[in-house]
Amino acid sequence: MDFSIHERIRAGDPDAFRQLFQEHSRAVLAHAVRVTGDRAGAEDVMAVVFLEAWRLREKLRDEWATPRPWLMGITVNVLRNRARAARRHTAALSRMPIPEPDPDFADELVGRLADHEQLLAAKAALEKLRRGEREVFSLCVWAGLTYPEAAKALGIPVGTVRSRLSRARTRLRALAEKELRRMPRTLPEPLRAAGQIQGGRMVPARSDKEWNR
């Protein structure tokens, strides 16, 4: 994307903003899916991200060769706000009377849960990292941002990105293995999908470049 497009986005040109969405929406969605583990919720996050991008369009600077770090910074903030809202909602529900139990439909959900086994394990492990480590890991490893791009997205020094990512990788290995061991062993083997276990081996998760093919 050249600088003339940046200028058109800042000026509120609908065609330029449509191009921004077409080029980067899948990367934003992929990142949100990985962080939330919820496709429907991730689509809501993506919608909010581009609404915020429109509202904050004048902050897109020409010094950024690509608007991707800027969009990912907005995505991080939207995810933070979503997590805070979820915590407030959970706290409010905890103060309400306990409802009558619903029928147990666990057997009907086994197949769907199996399809998401690996993603849920990764999400559970990520949630046990410090927020700063979790955000750096998801941006650099899952979203494919460089260290300088992640630093711009988060507003922190590049050295901090490097140190947080190193700590995150070290802790995440042990946490992910622990989460997988804790998962039910009665689930059927999941269908072949990105990042899932097949026949005793791990199928690598796709990068954002593969999402965009």
Q: Tell me, what's the pLDDT at 160?
A: 93
CATH 1.10.10.1100 fits 1-96, yes or no: no
User: Of the spans 119-123, 156-160, 165-169, which averages the highest pLDDT?
Assistant: 156-160
Q: Which of 97, 95, 87, 187 is nearest to 131 (CA)?
A: 87
CATH architecture assigned to 107-213: Orthogonal Bundle (1.10)
Name the H helices within 116-212. Answer: 117-127, 131-137, 147-154, 158-182, 208-211
pLDDT digits (tens, 9 = 90+) for 42-77: 999 999 999 999 999 999 888 777 889 999 999 999
pLDDT of residue 131: 87
pLDDT-derived band at 85 (thresholds 50, 70, 90) equals confident
Helix, strand, or coil (residue 201): strand
203, 117 Cβ separation under 8 angstroms:
no
- Mean pLDDT on 182-199: 47
Output the pLDDT for position 1: 45
Q: CATH 1.10.10.10 in the chain: give the residue spans.
A: 107-213
SS (H, E, C) 5-49: HHHHHHCCCHHHHHHHHHHHHHHHHHHHHHHHCCHHHHHHHHHHH
Q: What is the mean pLDDT of the chain?
A: 75
Residues of the chain with CATH 1.10.1740.10: 1-96
Q: What is the pLDDT of residues 118-146, one digit of tens each?
A: 666 667 777 888 889 888 988 888 888 89
Q: What are phi and psi of 183, to 5 degrees?
A: -70, 150
Q: Average pLDDT of 84-88? A: 70
